[in-house]
Every structure is written in structure tokens, then in C-alpha cells.
Chains A and B, each alone.
Chain A
Amino acid sequence: MKKSRRNFLKAAGVTALSIGAAPAIKAVSAAESHTAPHAVEMKRKDALKAKRWGMVIDARKLNDEIADKVVKACRYAHNIPDFHHEPDKKKYPDLKPVKFNQEIKWIWEEEFEHAFPDKETDFLAEKFRGLSFLVTCNHCKHPPCVQACPTQATFKRPDGIVMMDYHRCIGCRFCMAACPFGSRSFNFRDPRPFIEKFNPDYPTRTRGVVEKCDFCAERLAKGELPACVEASEGVITVGDLENPDSEIRKLIDSNFTIKRKQELGTDPSVYYIM
């Protein structure tokens, strides 16, 4: 009895070994075939590049009309749902009632005292009180959302853009708790019924994942500037923060700029000219 059991275990062991060895052999043989021409994944030649992407928003030139245009451009470019849009009842027959506090926004208007809550005082200059600001993801140098994410679904690219991988996100919303700027939105429901006009160049999202501004990575890759920059009539400028000759560095050098919640040490890449 004992002997046969030992033999059985031996045989089982050998079998397990050979199963384990198969992928290793395969990998070795695959490595050999690499001398033959093989496929390559690459960037487009016209892609816009930077060492560290940054953004300057000129608050002096900003008004409600431009802000509205910017928000709409972003909404269309990224297929962001608008819950005020009346969904097609025939196509989507049993929808749950809309909750507006579950909205999704990437760049939006915020009054000065909310965009900069720490700078609110009793005698805030009249020109700032109630003034609309545009706020979005700050693409921080030290992003707390990236630190918090348990799956690296949100991560920082070498060029400073904080990206979202919707394919990997498990929807734990830890990043939303971690972001000190409230820049992240969660897809509490399927967004499609609430998209009025689809942009075929960008996917929609599925319910249950977090999303936010991606600095138009998909446009930069094609050599186009972000959608908000195009719509902003010169209010928003993007460029390379690490390049002293870039346009945005010149703007920062020659104007008084502030950043949101600098004391937290996340080091935002979005500057506001006051």
C-alpha cells in the first residue's frame, strides 16, 4: 500500500514538472524566433511630447462664455454624460431615476472661494468673489490618487500626465477619497443614455469605473492640442514645464500665478494667472 502510494506521488510529481516546464520551453523557443522580423508598437511621428506637461489658465481673460465653451468642448471630446439630457425612452426603457449629485465632470466652472477655499476671507476683493474659475485634474507631480489606487489603474506617465486605465479600474473609489481637488468622478450608472452627441474618436465608459481629465492624451498622440485649449480663445495654454523656452514657462515667469492647495505638497501642474 505504502509503496504504491509513493510511486503514484512520484509519477504525479514528474507530470507536474513537465507541465511546469512546457511554458519555459515555449518561452525559450519564442526567444530564438526573435531574430526574424517581428511586429513593433510605436508612437506616431507627429505626437506632441513634453518632459512634464503643464497648463496655465489665464483668469484675467476668462469669462462665463469662454468657460462654457471649454466645458462643452471637453464634454463632447470625451463622451461625458450630461444627466440633464433626456434619454431616449425607446432605446433605454427601464432607467433608474437620475441623481444629479452623481454627475461626471472633467473640467468645470467653480467660484473662486470654492476653487481656492483656503484663500477665502471676509474682505475678498470684489473682483474675485463669485468669479468663475475653471478647475480640473491638476496632474500633480506627487499624485495621492496614484498612491491610493490598489491596481495601478491610475498611474503617472513619464511625461507627467496622470492617466486612467478604465480597463483595470475595480471601482473602489479610493482615489476619489485621496484626491484633494475633487477632480474625479465615478460612473454610478451606464453613461450612454445621457450622451447627446457621440464623438466617434473616443470610447465611452462602463458603469462602475472612475474617470477624470486625461490631458487629452489621445489628442496629443495625434499631434493635436487638448480640446479645452482649442476652445478657450487663448485662456488656456499647455506646454512643457521643464523647458525654460516653452510658452507656458514664459507665461509663468512674467505673471503672478497661483496653484490650488499648494500647502498639501502634491505639486499641481495647473497654474492660474491672477
Chain B
Amino acid sequence: MLEIALKGSKKYWVWVIILLAAMAVGAGAYIDQFTHGLTITGMSRDVSWGFYIANFTYLVGVAAGGVMVAIPCYLHDYKKFHRITVLGEFLAIAALVMCLLFIVVDLGQPIRLFNVLLHPTPHSMLFWDMCVLNGYLFLNIIIGWNVLESERNQVPHPKWVTPLIYISIPFAIGIHTVTAYLYCGLPGREYWLSAILAPRFLASAFAAGPACLILLCYIVKKVSKFDPGWEAMQTLTKIICYALTTNVFFFLCEVFKAYYSNIPGDKSHFNYLFFGINGHNGMVPWMWTSIICMFIGIFLLIVPALRNNKTLLPFTCIIVIIGTWIDKSLGMISGGFVPSLLDHVTEYSPTGEELVVTLGVYATGLLVLTILYKLATTVKEEVRG
């Protein structure tokens, strides 16, 4: 099936070459980081995780968001999603590839990566995160590939795939729950130490994942003859609407808890993010942008006329993605680490080199996505044609 990816229009190849170039630039920056250490990043003793882990967290959400297509399709036999389910699975694969790459580029000693397997440590959440992320990745590769190949041969997918599909659903919830547990089990980090962190992560994921999927469906419709179907997208928008509202609701619950209880440690992180502390206000514009984006997103998705507007929908999705991305990546990292455990304020912002490495990782993910979507759409064109 992979041979399909080798035949494409001129535009396809230009896009692939752009991605390869971006990957090469990213790799160059990474080599510099590899030889000189993480000193080239904006991270510090007080803010010991940065842009890499921030994007990792967000992309785990995008990967988990794919389950919002899988559940209606496989559990409720919702016909309109049958055409796009494989797109959701392939999006998850690309997102997971990026997640794993972000973890690797964040390590101080990447050559010792396999120490995690050599000395398995069940009391570490990172160990479990590795298990579920890799598990979900392999499940999606196996399921996506077999379902698509069966579609190409116009036969039902093999029976042994069905149990894997059912297993993949709790796995999707699992990857984001365990990722939240990385943060919310740490004593002393008030911004993360919250029982609703995992639900909040899932809510934001179920908004961000489908929003990415709708955007991709628009692109697919534009560059190929395959039409993912307007009705499927209308259902997706409703899912995004509920999920986004829930995410904002959870966020407001956190705000209420911190400010009504008036506990200094709990308040300090919100103060830093939304108002700044002693002139340290690097995050303030970002956080307000995030809140405004999420509220505008909810408005645009609740009003039926706006929600069903085909021209407006991609912009709504972009707004949702921006809002949730700031909230969950930059906000989650900076909010957790600033002010520090000893009540010092050390701000964090990524360096240019850090951004270039990040770009390289995103380019790799997009290349994987492009190839997989090329396969999916071509097979679907063949079958329909």
C-alpha cells in the first residue's frame, strides 16, 4: 500500500520537500543541542521543563482526541463517521510520533533512553506513560493499516482487529490520564496538584483533537477528490462545543477554588499567569488571548447559524486550537513552575534554537501525517471511483 505515497502531483512533492527541509533545519539545531547540552534552551533550574514538554502534553491530547471519532463509529455504529475514522486514527499516529520525539529531544542523556526499559520502575508515572503511549501508537498503526487495506480490497476487516479496536478506546483515555498524572501527583506544585487535572486535560483534548481533524478534512477535500462529508463535520463541531465548554468550566472551577479559598500558594500561579508578579508578566497577554479564544470559540459553536456556516468553521477551529494550545502547553508549564517552590519568580520563554528544534519535530509529524493521509484518500478515491 505504501507505494501510493510515491506517486503524487507536483504540489504533493513540493510540500514533501518543504517538510524534509524543515526537518533538516530542525535536525541541525538538535545536533547543536546534543553537543552543547540543553543550555541552548530557555529552561532553567526553576523552570526545568519547557516548550518541548509543553508541546508533548498538547499533542498527547490531539492523539487522544481521535477517540471521539472512534467511539461513535465502532461502539454506536454511527455511519457518518465511517468515512473519517481512519483519518482520526492516522492523526493519532502522527501526533504520537511527535510526542515521542518531543520526549527524546527533551532528554539530557538521550543515548541512555532505553534505561527506562532496562530498569522498569512501576512507581514512576513516566514509565506508565511510555507504556501507554507506545501501546496506543502500535494499536493505531495496526488498526488503521488493516482497516484501510480491507477497504481497498473491499472486504470487511479481519476479525482479530475488532478486539484491538475495543482495547484502543480505553487506551486513548489512558494516554491522557497518565500524562495528567505526570503532573498532578507532585506534592508542592499547587497549579498541577488537582484531582480534575486529568478530566480537564481530556476535555481540552476532545476539543483540540476534533478541531484539528475538521481542519484536515477541509484540506483533504481541497487537495483530493475524497469528500469526508459535511454531516460528519457537523457532528464533530457539536463534540468540540461540549468539550470546549467543559474545559472552560473545569478551568473556572480551579479559579474559584484558588481565589475563594484564598490560599496563597494556590492563588500565586493564577496571579502570575493572568496579572504578573512584580512586573514579571510575560505570560499575561498569552493567557488572556487563550481565555478570549476559548470564549469566542464557545460562542461560535453554540449559535447554530454560526456553527453550520461552512466558511466560518475552519476559522472557528483555528481559534479553538490557539485557545486550547496556550492553555495546555505554555500555561500548564509556566503556571506550574512559576513562582518557584521557594517563592522566587524565574520566567521562561523558549529560545530561537528551541523553536527550530520544535519546528523540526512538527515537520516530521506532518510528513508522517501527509503520507498516511495520502494513502487514505487515494484508497478512498479508488474505492469510490
Contacts and interface: CB of A to CB of B under 8 A. Distances in A.
Interface of A: 96, 99, 101-104, 110, 113-115, 117-118, 120, 135, 144, 147-153, 168-174, 176-182, 185-190, 206-210, 261, 264-266
B342 A171 contact: no
Interface string B121-133: 1011111001000
Interface of B: 36-41, 43-46, 48-49, 103, 106-110, 112-113, 115-116, 118-119, 121, 123-127, 130, 182-183, 186-189, 265, 336-337, 340-344, 346
Contacts of B130: 150
Contacts of B46: 101, 182
Contact of B342 (A102, A110, A147, A187): A110
A151 B188 CA distance: 23
Nearest to B32: A96
* Most interface-central of A113, A176, A187, A210 (chain B CB within 10 A): A176
A178 to B, nearest CB: 5
A103 B343 contact: no
Contacts, number: 146
A128 B350 CA distance: 37
Contact of B39 (A96, A115, A265): A96
Nearest to B336: A177
Nearest to A110: B342
Contact of A174 (B39, B124, B265, B341): B124
Contacts of A144: 186-187
Nearest to B126: A150
Nearest to B114: A170
* Most interface-central of A103, A135, A170 (chain B CB within 10 A): A170
Nearest to B186: A178
Given A101-B44, A173-B108, A113 B343 contact: yes
A103 B43 CA distance: 11
Given A148-B124, A170-B116, 13 more contacts: A96-B39, A115-B342, A149-B121, A151-B116, A168-B119, A172-B126, A180-B188, A181-B188, A186-B108, A187-B108, A208-B37, A208-B38, A261-B188
Contacts of B108: 169-173, 186-187, 207-210
Mostly helix, strand, loop or mixed at chain B's interface? loop
Contacts of B106: 172-173
B71 to A, nearest CB: 31
A148 B126 contact: yes
B189 to A, nearest CB: 7
A188 B121 contact: no
Contacts of A261: 188
A150 B109 contact: no
A99 B189 contact: no
A172 B53 CA distance: 10
Contacts of B124: 147-150, 174
Contacts of A102: 39, 43-45
Contacts of B182: 174
A101 B344 CA distance: 12
A182 B37 CA distance: 21
Contacts of B103: 172
Nearest to B192: A177
* Most interface-central of A188, A210, A266 (chain B CB within 10 A): A188
Contact of B37 (A113, A135, A190): A190
B108 to A, nearest CB: 2
A182 B109 contact: no
A186 B39 CA distance: 10
State the 9 A-B residue pairs at the shortest beta-carbon distance, nearest first.
A171-B108, A208-B108, A180-B188, A101-B44, A207-B37, A150-B126, A189-B39, A188-B39, A176-B48
B36 A117 contact: no
B109 A264 contact: no
Given A96-B39, A118-B265, A152 B121 contact: yes
B126 to A, nearest CB: 4
A37 B130 CA distance: 44
Contacts of A170: 107-110, 112-113, 115-116
Contact of B49 (A113, A173, A209, A210): A173
Contacts of B341: 117, 179-182
Given A171-B109, A181-B341, A261-B188, A150 B116 contact: yes
Contacts of B43: 102, 188
Contacts of B125: 148, 174
Contacts of B39: 96, 99, 102, 188-189, 207
B342 A114 contact: yes
17 contacts: A117-B342, A120-B343, A170-B116, A171-B112, A172-B103, A174-B124, A174-B126, A177-B49, A177-B186, A177-B337, A178-B186, A180-B187, A180-B341, A181-B342, A182-B45, A182-B341, A207-B39
B48 A177 contact: yes
